[in-house]
Amino acid sequence: MAKTTDALTRRDVLLGAGAVTAALGTVTLGASTAEAAVEKWDHEADIVIVGSGVGGCTAAVTAHEQGDSVVVLEKAPFVGGTSKKSAGVLWIPNNYTLRAKGIDDKKEECLQYLARYSYPERYVAGQPNLGLAALEYALLEVFYDNASKAVDRLRELGALRTAEWRMFALDRSATDYLDHVPENKVPTGRALGPVSAEGQMGLGVELMTQLGDAVEKRKIPVLLQHEAARLVVNAAGRVVGIEATSADKKVTIRARKGVIFASGGFAHNREYADTYLRHRYYGSCAMPSATGDFVRIAGAIGARLGNMTGTWGTQIVLEDALRNHVLPTGVFFPPGDSMLQVNRHGRRVVNEKRNYNDRTEAHGYFDPSDAEYPNELMFMVYDQRTAEGFAGAYPLPPTPTGAKYVLQADTLDALADKLAARLKDIATRTGNFSLSPAFLANLKTSIARFNGFARAGRDDDFSRGAAGYDREWQMVFSPMNAASKYAAEKAPNSTMFPLSDTGPYYAVMLAAGSLDSCGGPVIDASARVLDGSDKPIAGLFGAGNCIASPSRFAYYGAGHTLGQSLTFGYIAANAAHAEPSSKA
Amino acid sequence: MAKTTDALTRRDVLLGAGAVTAALGTVTLGASTAEAAVEKWDHEADIVIVGSGVGGCTAAVTAHEQGDSVVVLEKAPFVGGTSKKSAGVLWIPNNYTLRAKGIDDKKEECLQYLARYSYPERYVAGQPNLGLAALEYALLEVFYDNASKAVDRLRELGALRTAEWRMFALDRSATDYLDHVPENKVPTGRALGPVSAEGQMGLGVELMTQLGDAVEKRKIPVLLQHEAARLVVNAAGRVVGIEATSADKKVTIRARKGVIFASGGFAHNREYADTYLRHRYYGSCAMPSATGDFVRIAGAIGARLGNMTGTWGTQIVLEDALRNHVLPTGVFFPPGDSMLQVNRHGRRVVNEKRNYNDRTEAHGYFDPSDAEYPNELMFMVYDQRTAEGFAGAYPLPPTPTGAKYVLQADTLDALADKLAARLKDIATRTGNFSLSPAFLANLKTSIARFNGFARAGRDDDFSRGAAGYDREWQMVFSPMNAASKYAAEKAPNSTMFPLSDTGPYYAVMLAAGSLDSCGGPVIDASARVLDGSDKPIAGLFGAGNCIASPSRFAYYGAGHTLGQSLTFGYIAANAAHAEPSSKA
């Protein structure tokens, strides 16, 4: 096969390169393109950014202000990504509001919290890197070192107005998602939020409107409906640009210093979910464009993948997810006090008030004796007190039966029958998930046991209400309606109240869902994407849900994903700025 | 950067191809080599097989007998791979011994068992493909269709002597690993084993000696200590050979029809384990050469990966694993009846007699309330009855304290102290895994509750002993020593006996381990490796632990991994035979 002629045309070379590219995965797989094969560049910038969520916009503004020219690609027809759908909170350790209050969120102590939460099975205080691998530790350290700086820089540039994010109903500092471990020395106050010009705390729309405006004001081109297709690589293996697809046309963008991916995860890529996640996620709040493009695109040039089993979890309403895998919201905090969740055996399996990310893991439990996932669906069961007293706190409708996904019955027996019937209706969508024969009897036992815990104020099985998180976030997400006739009746543990001995009773079917995945190409402490030998791939950077999360599976507090994305977007822009230009 | 001259030398072309290859992952990442860049082939065959375990040897013999020339590469200095370390059992549905007994292991029924076990959350009887994706179902179907044929072919060729594998102590047909679900209509008798010329049932050594002899007798070259490095791909994207490394030298082998990988998984690749597996595995019984080479090598040419979170699990003795990640054996069946396992809280969490693959999943449980893995280590606690009566059944030593990993104490209080002290000694290796303050009290409660179950004959918590598997495999792995003074005392459930009220008591620390991983490139029903668009990569085939297991995580019965590997090795050889020659 080897060609024997010594005289070849340029076309032969290009075909040769193309053939090798094809052999290495074919164009449809997102293999890279050789720089020599690019006939013309449609756009050119020092730094090209993929994704216009909080990570991408932070990187864009940061880069621009350092004198780098920037182009942003966005797959969707508008700016903001999943960040725009979010609550807009930013988890930033050692932030300026803490400092202003004289609270010293010390690096050494904060890193213990981060390491303990992210690597519980390897964290050892006093050991080198706290027991973590060098890269794992370095990523936590650089997050701590840059998070606060990044926000301060955006504020200084007038790109973002923030304030301490106060837990609304309480008007208290936000409590971290693992506040009750001894390693957390500053368990409240690390959350910031975006405020309007009038000083009003906003959500993701506010956050991304401000950051989007900052990008626009700087005249940074944002190419909407441009989907990243593959990287352009020069003969030395450096990333020098990117090919995108827009309206079925190929668009090439040269990146003289580097390409920063700050795009979505793979929550809506069914194949990746089957491959990388251990159990079933029925839906995700991520934007529909979160199809894991970066896994494919960076994988094609040898990026090392990490953390691939990870998602930012949340429980979701099953029946909504069956209608549409893309969900507007999740069950971030199951409302109510006279409420519990049980599995197909009618048994409680989790602290219902734990944070969404950790709580959702309970759905993945595999029962070795029956070789099945008995918690795949869970049933949130509650009484009239919760239905009325906490009405309107999602997923409770404003009136007790104001949503089709709410089942109501006069007795527990009748409720179990209704659940069984509803499950039968959707059996082909759930692998015939059904109530076990012991469901009803166990449900009654579970309620009796729960009621005992509620009266005693202590949950001996799952520690519900023991952590500050459980109690305080309940007041944020589902305070008792003040006008309710039930408000006067209190129990010693605010998160638990005995279920009534008489109906009506209610049930909502819940499943595992996600905000997005959190696995992908692995970055180093400069946000450079690493290859399989842990060497940086020159010219390629990453931040946000598209990369292997620097915090692994841990969700440190409200605003975790946005804070991490913003910080690594900032780090990436700084690192790309320092790169020499690749332009010949 | 694009070259502007039209006159280039052949060297330029090769450098160009090399540069693109480098850009696409660099040589150290195992990117492929363009056929045009191969200056000479050191070896040549119709079919090249990587790995000499049961899958590789079956493929080699099958291919040879069809007239294909074959070369086998083996990374280790000897033939046999992990198969050689195994028990040598082959799980083969509808096998000739069943047929001889008039047992009809019907396809439609058997597929229900396979689908139910492999995809519990999607299996629905009566639905198209039983609720599975088309490819998932096709892989189960082709396994059923070929398993028995493959063994019959090897027997007919004189390559392998087999017989029904009888559970030794019992001399009964082997019970499947999920015998008690209604979908399993032939719950015993699907296991075969290798028999010597004298008719003696053997282990993995017997199996691989016979198959290795069959390869040798056919003068099929086996290149030992040849490590596959990267595939050679022609301009059309077809795999046409492979580059290996031997004694630091590059060796090229042309494969005119195809390359079949039947190599190991990634059990001993720490980076892959961190990336793809959700929780921590402390060791593996796989050969040390199981470092996931196929994931890298096939990934570099765009293979789709699947099932990446999967392992063939087994519990292992922690302290052995801390000495060496490569283990001689696992705790396949925890011995004893007056024995239970508890986690760091002193609580039982699993049916101790469940099959190793499913039981091991219990170690991965994440506790959302404390954000930790409380079952990461489990403690097998037992009394003098078990220590003596089941002595010698691994991990019980021949005498009660005949192994350093056995802790002994006169009382449970003292045993807990010893456990705590031992855990402290190894704290830096386990992320400071320690007993919770409630351990001792809960241990006592757990034993009392277990003793109640043992007296009643029914385990209301974890159904220990309810399935035939639990009872019958106990008789295989750990029958009560007949001479023991305890043999006369029986309880209604043979798997449970109340622990004595008096000491001494014993404990062994267990962790999650594996036989190997079971994720990798995805194959189709012809064992062809698929790319990211689900198109076969021409010339590339896979079987065994190196691919995405066609059974997903499920371990159907004794000999599951070997039976599956043998079957897909056979399928791969047949499919490769049908390929046209790629030789110019």
Count other C-beta atoms under 10 Å from residue A397's C-beta. Answer: 17
Confidence (pLDDT) at B32: 87
Question: In angstroms, rounded to a whole number, what is the distance separating the alpha carbons of residues A421 and A401?
Answer: 17
| b/e code A425-435 from CB counts within 10 Å (16+ = b) | eeeebbbbbeb
Contacts of A458 in chain B (CB under 8 A): none
For range A393-397, the mean pLDDT: 97
B-chain residues within 8 Å CB-CB of A465?
A: none
- Cβ contacts (< 8 Å) between A536 and chain B: which residues? none
Instruction: State which residues of chain B have pLDDT below 70.
Output: 1-30, 584
The residue among A341, A369, A436, A582 with the most chain B CBs within 10 A of its CB, best to mutate, is A369
Angle at B366 between CA B365 and CA B371, to 5 degrees: 160
The half-sphere exposure of B333 on its side-chain side, counting CA atoms within 13 A, is 24
**Could you identify the residue written with the tokens 């040589």?**
B27
Q: Is residue A235 within 8 Å of residue A75, measured between CB atoms?
A: no
pLDDT score at B219: 98
Contact yes or no for B1 and A35 at CB 8 A:
yes
Query: A33 to chain B: which residues are within 8 Å by CB?
Result: none
Residue B48 is encoded by which pair of tokens?
């090249």
Residue A413 confidence (pLDDT):
98
User: Which of A262, A218, A223 has the alpha carbon at shortest distance from A65?
Assistant: A218
Q: For residues B426, B427, B430 and B431, what is the CA-based torsion angle, rounded to 10 degrees?
A: -170
How far is A176 from chain B, CA to nearest CA, in Å? Answer: 13
Smallest Cα distance from A339 to chain B, Å? 17
pLDDT given at position A29: 38
φ/ψ bin of B280: left (φ > 0), alpha (ψ from -120 to 50), beta (otherwise)? beta
B121/A372 touch (CB, cutoff 8 Å), yes or no? yes
Chain A residue closest in CA terms to B347:
A461
Q: Do B554 and A361 touch (CB under 8 A)?
A: no
Whole-angstrom CA distances from B489 to A469, B352, B464, B506 are: 52, 21, 19, 20
| Cis upstream peptide for A400 (omega within 30°) | no
Give the integer Cα–Cα distance in Å for A408 and B91: 49
Nearest to A124 among B127, B233, B432 (CB): B432
A369: nearest CB among B34, B117, B354: B354
CB atoms within 10 A of CB A483: 8
Of the listed ranges A127-136, A270-279, B447-456, the least confidently predicted one is A270-279
How close B253 gets to chain A, by Cα (Å)?
A: 15
Provide the pLDDT for residue A584.
60
Gap between the Cα atoms of B284 and B544, Å rounded:
16
Give the nearest chain A residue to B21 (CA atoms). A20
Q: Which of B20, B277, B279 sits opposite A21 (nearest CB)?
A: B20
Dihedral pair phi/psi, residue B201, rounded to 5°: -65, 130
Q: What is the DSSP letter of A523?
A: B
Contact A6 B9 (CB under 8 A): yes
List the single residue in A with minimal CA-CA distance to B122. A431
- Cross-chain CB nearest to B354 (options A3, A308, A368): A368
Q: Which helix (H) or strand (E) covers residue B294, if one does?
A: helix B293-299
What is the structure's pLDDT at A111?
98
The packing angle between helices B10-23 and A10-23, to 10°, is: 30
Question: Looking at beta carbons, which residues of chain B come within 8 Å of A355?
Answer: 368
Say yes or no for a CB contact (<8 Å) between B8 and A3. Answer: no
Rounded to whole angstroms, the Cα distance separating A319 from A313 reads: 17
**Nearest Cα to A415, choosing from A380, A388, A451, A374?**
A380
pLDDT at A7 > cutoff 80: no
Q: Which of B24, B127, B240 sits opposite A32 (nearest CB)?
A: B24
Listed range (A147-161, A398-412, A474-488, B137-151) with the worst mean pLDDT: A474-488
pTM for the structure as a whole = 0.92
Q: What is the mean pLDDT of residues A454-462?
A: 97
Residue of B nearest to A38 (CA): B2
* Averaged pLDDT, A209-219: 98
B500-522 burial, b for 16+ CB within 10 Å, e for fewer?
Answer: beebbbbbbbbbbbbbbbbbbbb
Is the Cβ–Cβ distance between A371 and B358 less than 8 Å?
A: yes
B26 closest CB neighbour out of A302, A359, A361: A302
* Tokens, residue B233: 């791909």
> A215 to chain B nearest CA, in Å?
31
**Three-state DSSP state, A54:** helix
Instruction: Identify the three-state secondary structure at position B486.
Output: coil
- Chain B residues with CB inside 8 Å of A233's CB? 20, 23-24
Q: Which of B93, B202, B208, B174 is nearest to B477 (CA)?
A: B174
Of A23, A35, A235, the CB nearest to B34: A23
Q: Which residues of A touch B300 (CB under 8 A)?
A: 24, 302
Mind telling me how many Å the CA of B240 is from chain A's nearest CA? 11
Using the beta-carbon criterion (under 8 Å), do B34 and A20 form an inter-chain contact? yes
CB nearest B431 (choices: A6, A120, A280): A120
pLDDT for the residue numbered A168: 78
Sign of CA dihedral B163, B165, B171, B175: negative
DSSP A35: G
**pLDDT in the model for residue A32:** 87
| CB atoms A309 and B277 under 8 Å | yes
Nearest to B341 by CA among B366, B378, B314: B378
Please name which of B123, B108, B96, B86 lies closest in space to residue B551, comparing C-alpha atoms: B123
Quote the minimal CA–CA distance from B206 to chain A in Å: 31
